[in-house]
């Protein structure tokens, strides 16, 4: 896979996978009075500039579309679009994710990739109850309980408390061999981007991949230091320079609603106090 497609996938991932530190997740029915609001809603839209060094290399958009249904379940429908590239290599990618509104478990994930001379579609149907996923109508493959795909993880991450100096480990990416993912919470920092000035929490995602979030990489992500946890900047060092995403504009969706959410899945994620960010 070339560098540009990896950047696209890394951005929509923000930090792939998930699961509690103790390994096994427990799914419990959540009573009405225990439902919790999520920090996003239909209509939310964030637009980013992509730079390679000082060169403008494209734009990216993350958006929450109207509610949808998948196999009879009500779902959040999110989309990520990336357009741009460099001389001789253009990209126009789209990633869609459908998440169960009760658990944020991924039920469907589509990738439409138009990268240089290559065009490719990938269709994933994900079945949390069976712990399986199907790619492009192939034979079912093993998955995990309460799975997350590349896009849905971004939104799940926004619901997790992050404490500076702690490391969080997750093990619920829908492809088991890519687990776990670690997130080191490095520092607080006030930064300015085209969309404005923000107080942020800086995290370092570490994933089992050769991409921009590889274990020996130096990628960092800036999230707003509030309940929204919106990504305002991502920076990664690549072989020939630095790639940076800056928040260009943001439109909040409707007022966040108390959508049913799996209390155990959110609250059982415990920081690894024995590890500290490097």
| DSSP per residue, 124-185 | EEEETTTTEEEETT---EE--SS-B-HHHHHHHHTTS---TT-EEEE--BSSGGG--EEEEE
Residue 264 binned pLDDT confidence (cut-offs 50, 70, 90):
very low
> Quick one: pLDDT at residue 20?
28
How many CB atoms sit inside 10 A of residue 104's CB?
24
Residue 144 has pLDDT above 80, yes or no: yes
Position with higher pLDDT, 45 vs 15: 45
Mean pLDDT of the chain: 77
The stretch 128-148 carries a mean pLDDT of: 94
The answer, yes or no, to whether residue 166 has pLDDT greater than 90, is yes
pLDDT of residue 196: 95
- The pLDDT of residue 210: 52
- Whether pLDDT at 169 is above 70: yes
The mean pLDDT value for 37-47 works out to: 89
Overall pTM surpassing 0.85 (yes/no): no
The whole-number pLDDT of residue 136 equals 94
Confidence band, pLDDT 50/70/90 cuts, at residue 276: very low
Q: What is the mean pLDDT of residues 82-90?
A: 80
How many Å apart are CA 156 and CA 261, to the nearest integer? 10
Helix 3-13 crosses helix 150-157 at what angle (to 10 degrees)? 40
Average pLDDT over residues 119-125: 92
Instruction: Please state which of the ranges 58-62, 92-96, 241-245 shows the lowest mean pLDDT.
Output: 241-245
Say yes or no to pLDDT of 6 above 80.
no
Specify the 3-state DSSP secondary structure of 103: coil
pLDDT at 238 (0 to 100): 65
Buried b (16+ CB within 10 A) or exposed e, 244-274: bbbbbebeeeeebeebbbbeebbebbebeee
Specify the residue for token string 């799975």: 147
Q: What is the pLDDT of residues 216-237, one digit of tens each?
A: 557 889 999 998 999 999 888 7
Tokens of 15: 């930090």
Model pLDDT, residue 55: 84
Q: What is the pLDDT of residue 261?
A: 38
Cα separation of 104 and 128, whole Å?
A: 11
């Amino acid at each position: 896979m070339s560098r540009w497609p990896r950047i696209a996938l890394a951005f929509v991932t923000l930090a792939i996978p998930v699961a509690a530190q103790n390994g096994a997740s427990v799914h419990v029915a959540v009573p009405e009075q225990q439902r919790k609001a999520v920090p996003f809603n239909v209509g939310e839209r964030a637009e980013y500039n992509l730079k390679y060094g000082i060169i403008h290399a494209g734009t990216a958009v993350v958006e929450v579309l109207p509610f949808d249904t998948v196999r009879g379940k009500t779902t959040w429908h999110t989309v990520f679009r990336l357009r741009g590239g460099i001389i001789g290599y253009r990209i126009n990618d789209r990633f869609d994710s459908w998440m169960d509104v009760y658990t944020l478990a991924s039920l469907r994930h589509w990738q439409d990739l138009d990268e240089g001379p290559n065009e490719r579609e990938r269709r994933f149907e994900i079945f949390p109850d069976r712990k399986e996923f199907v790619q492009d109508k192939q034979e079912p493959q093993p998955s995990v309980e309460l799975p997350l795909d590349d896009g849905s993880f971004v939104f799940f991450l926004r619901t997790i408390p992050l404490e500076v100096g702690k490391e969080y480990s997750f093990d619920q990416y829908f492809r088991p061999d890519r687990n776990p993912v670690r997130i080191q919470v490095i520092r607080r920092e006030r930064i300015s981007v085209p969309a404005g000035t923000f107080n942020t929490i800086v995290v370092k995602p570490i994933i089992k991949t050769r991409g921009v979030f590889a274990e020996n990489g130096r990628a960092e992500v800036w999230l707003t230091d509030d309940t929204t946890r919106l990504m305002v900047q991502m920076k990664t060092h690549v072989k020939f320079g630095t790639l940076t995403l800056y928040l260009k504009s943001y439109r909040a969706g409707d007022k966040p609603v108390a959508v049913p959410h799996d209390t155990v899945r959110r609250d059982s994620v415990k920081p690894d106090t024995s590890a500290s960010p490097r």
